[in-house]
Amino acid sequence: MTGLTGFTDNPFKSRSDLVRAATALIGPLIPYKSSNGARVKLRPSTYAAFDDVAAQLEGFARPLWAIAAIVDDTSTSINPGLKCWLHGLQAGVDPENLDFWGDVGPFDQRMVEMESIAFALLASPDDVTSTLSDTSKENLKRWLLQINDHAMPKSNWRWFRILVNLALSKVLGVPHSELKQRTDQDFALLDEFYLGEGWSSDGLWGDERKQADYYSGSFAIQFAQLLYVCFAEGDEERVERYRLQARELAAVFWRYFEINGMDHPVVER
């Protein structure tokens, strides 16, 4: 199997290495972007377990985790196609655009994809908002606010809503008072997931559900907590608690990995 230049030959020792790796992974997606840049579709089909528009939104949104963190990097040459990626937001939230992502419904995958958009707003607010007209900012605000209006699983998904609401208040000008009740409810539920030593279950722990795997350990809950630590303001007690939990998890989580960095088979992803 042929390696991916910039990734498989990467030492992953510096920020420049990580920028090069991200560019190597995301660059090949550029030809598969839609004409207005808000969707990515790898033909012939996505085979996702949700509607195809949401799957194409996923193709656009997931790379934002890297793009938002490197878009203003001046120390490394970045693919111009990645710098233009943020422009797709304007089309995706425009109900009149062919690339519109669609309105949100109950238990909708669109809620999941909102998290990386929220991260982009929080991590690079000027870079993101500079690509948007005033109308587009209002469209983005309206589209994101829908996450507060529909049922969602009692699981790590609640973090998506917390981070979206944080971005709405910090970057898009929605008064915190309008979002506080929903955020407080989500935090109250997430607090019930805590198991100790930095671990949280993904959903309430009980006879019917005992789940503390990849959506807890490395891919969702603890990661979201650290994002909150980075971007929250005026919530010092919770921020300090999450810092402590991160230290406690790190003290044991390393045991799930080999010396060369590979994970043990017990780690599902």
Secondary structure of the chain in the HEC alphabet?
A: CCCCCCCCCCCCCCHHHHHHHHHHHHHHHHHHECCCCCCECCCCCCCCCCCHHHHHHHHHHCCHHHHHHHCCCCCCCCCHHHHCHHHHHHHHCCCCCCCCCCCCCCCCHHHHHHHHHHHHHHHCHHHHHCCCCHHHHHHHHHHHHHHHCCCCCCCCHHHHHHHHHHHHHHCCCCCHHHHHHHHHHHHHHHHHCEEECCEECCCCCECCECCCCHHHHCCCHHHHHHHHHHHCCCCHHHHHHHHHHHHHHHHHHHHHECCCCCECCCCCC
Residue 267 clears pLDDT 60, i.e. is over it: no
Average pLDDT on 241-253 reads 94
What φ, ψ does residue 194 adopt, rounded to 5°? -65, 130
Higher-pLDDT residue of 35, 264: 35
Average pLDDT on 10-20 reads 92
Number of other residues whose CB lies within 10 A of the CB of residue 131? 14
Residue 43 carries which side chain, given as an amino acid letter?
Answer: R
Average pLDDT on 237-252 reads 95
- For residue range 142-195, list pLDDT tens digits in order: 999 999 999 999 999 999 999 999 999 999 999 999 999 999 999 999 999 999
Residues recorded for the chain: 269
pLDDT grade, residue 262 (50/70/90)? confident
Q: What percent of the chain has pLDDT over 70?
A: 93
pLDDT grade, residue 22 (50/70/90)? very high
pLDDT grade, residue 71 (50/70/90)? confident
- Please tell me the predicted confidence (pLDDT) of residue 214: 66
pTM over 0.85, yes/no: yes
